[in-house]
Amino acid sequence: MSEPKDKPSDLSEFDQGESWHRLSPWSVLHYVGSRHSIFTSTILGALALNLSIDRDLLGFIFGAGCLMLIFITVLAIAEQRFFRYHVGENSIQIRQGVFFKKKLNLKFRRIQNANIVHPFFFRPLGLVTLKLESAGSASKEVYISAVTLDRAQSIRQRIKQRLLIEESLAEEVNENELQEKLMLTRTLPDLVLHGLTNNRAWVIVGGLAGLISTTPISFEDIFAQISYIVGPVFSNQNTAYLLALFLLSLTLTVAVTASLSVIGSIVSYYGFSLFRSDNSLTVHQGLFNKQEVNLRKSRIQSVHIRQDWLDRVLGRVNIIFEQISHNNASGQTAQRRKKLLVPSVRVHEISSLLREFLPIDNPAKLEFIPISKRYFYKLIIVWSVVYILLALALASYRPGWSSFVIVAIPLWFLHMCLLFLTWKRAGLTIQENIVIVRAGIIGIDFVLFPAYKLQDIAHTQSILMKKKNLSNVLFSTASRRVSVPYLPTSVVRNAIDHCLFCVESSARSWM
């Protein structure tokens, strides 16, 4: 096994052309690690199956797990043995594949991100994984695993330099463009806050899941069961006891999921520090797997300022720099990877972060074109119909439940209040060729992008809207689609014309 010659930061080494490098044997760990999810899910699945059928099958599960592990390891060793890479003048070439040979020629200028990942299992060895993301499909990601940090950095440096040389033919280059300055760090309390607010959805989902799992199929059953068990003790406070039990289990599940989310936030963002240079942003983050994420500013497509209700209470926002996203089969993970999230940003820090990408200050101070009241009316009508239908269905299903319908009325009212806020928040403005869309319910979200980065733009209206001169507008950038409903048609027409002018008159590339 020929180890790659790890002469650090010697760029000329790459130029000698024909040398193909193998990965260090340690990279087997990387390949095993990248499949751990298959392994754990098999084990979990088998375990679940087993517990429901027969407890004696534990040995079998253990055996299956071991077999799986051996299989994964053998595959990983094979993959390591078949992997070759070559760093050339303008590109990186990869040969890989066990059953299907794959040759890949990744051009430097097509590389969107070159990130250095420090997986926890490589840290004692002082090795890192270089992750190259191309601007193309997510499947064309390349991992060069188990190389020394110096080597990874020199490869990355080379990619950056190449890009700069190419760009410098078009524009003047500053000497200090490659220099990175520390811009922002996040402390542990920040991350705790982020964990509490950002995964709020999970908290709710977790709460619901807890609710469902603690609730047997029929409410009557649980009433019967619990009154049977605790009836003798709490003969009169039966319902109160039940309520207390329910609330307790709810708070418990919420607390557990919230703390899980806090832990998750700390694990992924620990030691978050953001460095800036004139044309890129770099983030260092992660507790176990330290990551160095590098983002070229020109590749940012849009900025999303996200604020959940809890964020609003705490006066924080999350700022997400978004790159090209591809909605393919692995859409979710691919999308998450292409974003750079700055967690728990204080309000006074928003402007300086935004200015990295757009010449604009905190959008909260801008004036937005509001959307028509008819949007609110429409939402009221649609949702009220849903509520009425549900109530009717419920009432006919179990006549005794008609009293439950009374409970639905405050719920309906609350929902209407939220719809009112939704309507109130929605808005659009175009400032200095920057499109800014406002949305949200309690927290306020903004999506900002320069008009010239638009890919296409659509104008939609229903027949009813046409009568009232209202239109929806749908902006598509390479990173996301944003729509604003029920704007005056004249506003939408003007916005579309203006954006098209920006796209068609500017020679600037969206990439």
Interacting residues toward another protein by CB under 8 A: 90-91, 103-107, 109-110, 112, 134-137, 140, 166, 169-170, 324-328, 454-463, 466, 476-481, 496, 500, 503-504, 507, 509-511
Q: Which is nearer to another protein, 170 or 217 (CB)?
A: 170
Q: Which is nearer to another protein, 384 or 462 (CB)?
A: 462
108 to 113, 163, 172, 464: CA distances (angstroms): 10, 7, 20, 52
Shortest distance (Å) from residue 301 CB to another protein: 9
Instruction: Tell which residue, 8, 6, 9, has the closest CA to residue 26.
Output: 6
Shortest distance (Å) from residue 501 CB to another protein: 9
Q: Which is nearer to another protein, 265 or 471 (CB)?
A: 471
Task: Count the alpha carbons within 13 Å of 30 in the hemisphere toward its beta carbon.
Answer: 27
123 to 29, 173, 272, 287, 499: CA distances (angstroms): 12, 36, 18, 11, 48
Q: Which is nearer to another protein, 112 or 199 (CB)?
A: 112
Residue at 494: amino acid letter: N
- Collect all residues with Cβ–Cβ distance below 8 Å to 278 and sequence separation of at least 6: 174, 176, 177
Q: Which is nearer to another protein, 310 or 430 (CB)?
A: 430
Shortest distance (Å) from residue 507 CB to another protein: 6
Can you read off the two tokens belonging to residue 314?
Answer: 């705490």
Can you read off the two tokens belonging to residue 68?
Answer: 């799986």
Distance CA 352, CA 208 (A): 39
- Classify residue 338 as exposed, middle or buried by CB count within 10 Å of its CB (0-12, 13-18, 19+): buried
Distance CA 111, CA 132 (A): 7
Are the C-beta atoms of residues 129 and 30 closer than 8 Å to each other? yes
Shortest distance (Å) from residue 170 CB to another protein: 6
Q: Give the containing element (helix H, strand E) for 283.
A: strand 280-285
Shortest distance (Å) from residue 63 CB to another protein: 41
Shortest distance (Å) from residue 467 CB to another protein: 12
Q: Which is nearer to another protein, 109 or 297 (CB)?
A: 109
Residue at 225: amino acid letter: Q
Shortest distance (Å) from residue 499 CB to another protein: 9
Q: Which is nearer to another protein, 12 or 327 (CB)?
A: 327
Shortest distance (Å) from residue 163 CB to another protein: 10
Q: Which is nearer to another protein, 138 or 426 (CB)?
A: 138
Q: Give the containing element (helix H, strand E) for 431.
A: strand 427-431
